[in-house]
Amino acid sequence: MQDLALANRVLHHEGVVDDFGHVALRDPADPQHFWLSRALPPNLVTVADLRRYGPDGVCEDAGVQSYSEAVLHARIFAARPDVQVCIHHHARPLLPFTLAGAPPLRPVFHTGAIAGWEIPLWDSAPFGAGGMLVDTVAKADSLAEALGPHRAALLRAHGAVVVGPTIAEAVMIAIYMAENAGVALAAGAPHHPVPSLAREEAEETSRRLLTPNTIARVWTGRVAKLAG
């Protein structure tokens, strides 16, 4: 639980989440449920703010205000038994790649490869204006379907979801995916074609980077940055 609270603060420190955005962890003892902070800016989240949510995305503690997109995590956990951690954020470097008509975001540098070759784009428009939030079971199921087996998906003109088997791995993917978008932007994407890694190269690079030692190294380093 300490790591879940830390993940919120690390992602804020790294500019992945801002005033919004959140991290959910499947309950290790009861996989139909998950843990998520009550509605707070991510940089303020402590262990005391974490609450348990049901498979419908409803908080078991009716006395606190919940994030309106809590259901997003519920439906992704339901659709993906391999996923233990789900992050939703609005990192700015990714946003140009979420706009209608943008080309797919591909890995353009070494560590940027870990978000995967295929990052689907989900659009809330078929569900009506609705504030663009993923705040209903129907929208969350649709997003989970678009995510499919991938590590991340983009939400049109909104942000992204990133999933992983551990807190440290999901946080690492979220950070490097945003950095990959930043490098792609600096190179002229999405308006100009930017050379990406070859697909095979990206997949092999990702496989070599997502090892327990490397993931622990990144997590330890980024947590230490928080302490200053």
- 19/207 Cα distance (integer angstroms): 32
Give the per-residue SS3 of 68-81.
Answer: CCHHHHHHHHHHCC
Q: Label the pairing between strands 159-164 and 85-89.
A: antiparallel
Catalytic residue positions, numbered: 69
Q: Where are the beta strands (DSSP E) in 77-125?
A: 85-89, 121-122
Would you give the end-to-end CA distance of the chain in angstroms? 22
Which residue is listed with tokens 């997949």?
Answer: 203
- 84/34 Cα distance (integer angstroms): 9
Residues in contact with 11: Cβ distance below 8 Å, sequence separation at least 6, in sequence order: 17, 21, 23, 42, 87, 89, 171, 174, 175
- At how many degrees (to 10) do helices 137-147 and 70-79 cross? 50
- Say how far residue 177 (Cα) sits from the centre of its chain: 9
CA angle, 29 then 31 then 37, to 5°: 85
